[in-house]
Amino acid sequence: MSYAERALRTLSAGNRTLLRAQDEQTLLQEMCRVIVELGGYRMAWVGYAQNDEARTIRPMAHLGFDEGFLELGRFTWAEGESEGSRGPTAQAIRGGKPVVVQDTTKLLGTQLPVPLAETLRRGYASIAAFPLIIEREAIGNLTIFAAEADAFDECECSLLAEMADDLAFGIATLRMREQRREAEETIRHMAYFDALTDLPNRGSLNARLAEEIAQAQQENQSMAVLLMKVGRFQEISDTLGYLEGDHLIVEMAKRLLHIAGPNKAVARVGEDEFAIIMPRASAEAATRVAHNAMREARDPVNFAGLAMDPHAYIGISLFPGHGNTPETLLRRAKIAAVQARRTACKYTLYKGTEDRESTQRLALMSELRSAIDQNELLLYCQPKVAIRSGEICGAEALVRWQHPQHGMIATGEFIALAERAGLIMPLTRWVLEAAFRQSYAWFERGIRRPLSVNLSAQDLRDPRLIDRISGLFATWALPPELMQFELTESALMEDPAGALETLGQLKDLGVELYIDDFGIGYSSLSYLQKLPVDSLKIDHSFVASMLTNAGSEVIVHSTVELGHNLGLGVVAEGVESEALWDHLQELGCDTAQGHFVGRPIPTAQFDEWEAQSPWSHPAPDGASAGVLH
């Protein structure tokens, strides 16, 4: 058999090895085996070029008459006259081309990695070294030894070089496959594990929970889900920074892993939430674990010298009693955690009442949004009466919601719904448009009755508020004195500087401004002096109790004097009786509003009410006109 035929057979067998190889090391070793056992060569070895300081060549695989050969020398691909640097393998790696030594006896005096005597003793008569090139870089070598001198003719070298190229391609393919596998594993890990704690995330927990539920159903067993909320996470993140917030979460994860032990799955299911799955667990067992967890969770966490309680609390839901799906069990455990916050022990089993209330609340939020969009709300007005003259001097616009199934929804309830659902601004827009329409209707009939609209803290932060109100004035061509705006003291104190700017812009429109619920917002006198307001409205809680509570009477009296000293009008809310009216009159209060004056009524009925009201025919000297029914 000719050398070329031997090389061709080796190439063919090598290709089959490439197709079957599953990992890099096996490929290298099998290629050496093919070269020696099927090709009939004396020895073959594969090395990888290292980029260390010595430019080492690290043997990766070898076979043949090689016992101890690769341990005898120091293989390097470095430039220079050092030992081994002029050997064929080093030259092949450096030059990126095959290097052939047809007769090793002629290497006498050459600096080789292994003494020539050892090469000859093993019967290595000729050597061919081929670079393994990936992306134009020699990453290593395939070196083959033959027992015959002049074994590597041009044809054989060409075939073996092709084999080396195929080996390099195989190495690159396996590495690419491994990189892809590692990338896929990384993506899978990112998809199912939390980056900060390396705990399973919500998606991973849902899958595990579904498996545990199926197992529990099959075995007729119960199971529990514990959900812990870390109450102080947001405060620490906002105050000390995100890194300290992360430190808190990592510390709580360690504690939970220690508490849970090996048989319970722990996961991070939210920014400040962890869950524990307890297979085959009763309510008693779950409560016991929650008790132990809270004992450790309450230990302070250190933050750069500060020791702070994490303020954790735990909710527990049970299969099958509280649900049979992962979503239901997690949701009800979270509801229980909120319930636990109000308990002394800070953990509790799920109770269904709040869940049903939450469901109803969500439905009402959706229906409220629809009511706003479909213009299904009602505008009511509550009259204001000047105490000195006893005449109606304006009205406050109030929104009401007549629900088709639940009837009239309490104002406080649907305002709270609007706040939770992010509907305050849409609700205010509805009230503004309805109030401007009503004021225009009165103005067209010659009735100059100022109508006031309440603005919330959220409305003050609305960058389009001033443009919207300016647009309504332009649309309806109303005199500015016919629209008034009321802002609570607490709303003004949320962002004093921003509120001051917004009030200034409103005042530039020529409208009157009121501070509503005055007395409960703790504003300073210096701040009050800066506000471009026209009147104070004393909170109804002080007015209603001023005849029986000396402290309330002092507050009402002082507010009247304060307002007048600042050149402001004073409105008393919550005037429910003639006795309150009379006392307010004695104190010099300017305006009264409350059930004694008039209850909130639909705007369509306001004219009829006014025509029949005693306030349309005030008593002499502003005396009370009697109780209104």
Site of tokens 């050997």? 87
Per-residue pLDDT band for 117 (boundaries 50, 70, 90) equals confident
How far CA 197 is from CA of 91, 207, 246, in Å, comes to: 50, 19, 9
DSSP state of 221: -
Specify the higher pLDDT residue, 4 or 152: 152
Six-digit token pair at 26? Answer: 């096996």
**Cβ atoms 17, 46 nearer than 8 A:** no
Taking the C-alpha atoms of residue 458 and residue 491, their distance in angstroms, rounded to an integer, is: 8
> pLDDT for 192-208, tens place per residue?
898 899 999 999 999 99
Name the β-bridge partners of 132: 140
pLDDT at 356 over 60: no
> pLDDT for 284-310, tens place per residue?
999 999 998 888 888 888 887 778 888
> pLDDT for 542-556, tens place per residue?
999 999 999 899 999
> pLDDT for 396-448, tens place per residue?
999 999 988 888 888 888 888 888 778 899 999 999 999 999 999 999 999 99
- For 316, phi then psi, to 5°, come to -125, 130
Report the run of H or E that residue 393 belongs to, with start and end: strand 392-403
Taking the C-alpha atoms of residue 562 and residue 557, their distance in angstroms, rounded to an integer, is: 9
Six-digit token pair at 292? Answer: 């132990």
Taking the C-alpha atoms of residue 53 and residue 68, their distance in angstroms, rounded to an integer, is: 25
Taking the C-alpha atoms of residue 245 and residue 525, their distance in angstroms, rounded to an integer, is: 38
Bridge pairing between strands 312-319 and 451-455: unpaired
> pLDDT for 247-265, tens place per residue?
999 999 999 888 887 767 8
Q: Mean pLDDT of all residues in the chain?
A: 87
pLDDT at 360 over 80: no
**Cβ atoms 385, 619 nearer than 8 A:** no
How far CA 159 is from CA of 87, 153, 303, 530, in Å, comes to: 22, 10, 68, 94
Give me the pLDDT at residue 629, please.
Answer: 29
> Where on the phi/psi map is residue 399: left (φ > 0), alpha (ψ -120 to 50), or beta?
beta
pLDDT at 3 over 70: no
DSSP state of 36: I
> pLDDT for 422-436, tens place per residue?
889 999 999 999 999
pLDDT at 357 over 70: no
- For 134-203, the DSSP string reads ETTEEEEEEEEEESSTT---HHHHHHHHHHHHHHHHHHHHHHHHHHHHHHHHHHHHHHHB-TTT--B-HH
- For 72-124, the DSSP string reads HS--B--SSSSTTTTSHHHHHHHHTS-EEES-GGGGTT---SS-HHHHHHTT-
> pLDDT for 215-224, tens place per residue?
999 999 999 9
Taking the C-alpha atoms of residue 83 and residue 80, their distance in angstroms, rounded to an integer, is: 9
Q: What's the order of all strands across the beta sheet hosting 265-270?
A: 265-270, 273-279, 223-230, 312-319, 347-349
Taking the C-alpha atoms of residue 598 and residue 579, their distance in angstroms, rounded to an integer, is: 15
Taking the C-alpha atoms of residue 554 and residue 533, their distance in angstroms, rounded to an integer, is: 23
Is 22 in a helix, a strand, or coil?
Answer: coil
- For 526, phi then psi, to 5°, come to -65, -40
Name the β-bridge partners of 484: 452, 512
Six-digit token pair at 157? Answer: 């070298």
The model's pTM: 0.51
Bridge pairing between strands 99-101 and 126-134: antiparallel
Site of tokens 């500060």? 306
Among 14-23, 499-508, 512-521, the minimum mean pLDDT is found in 14-23
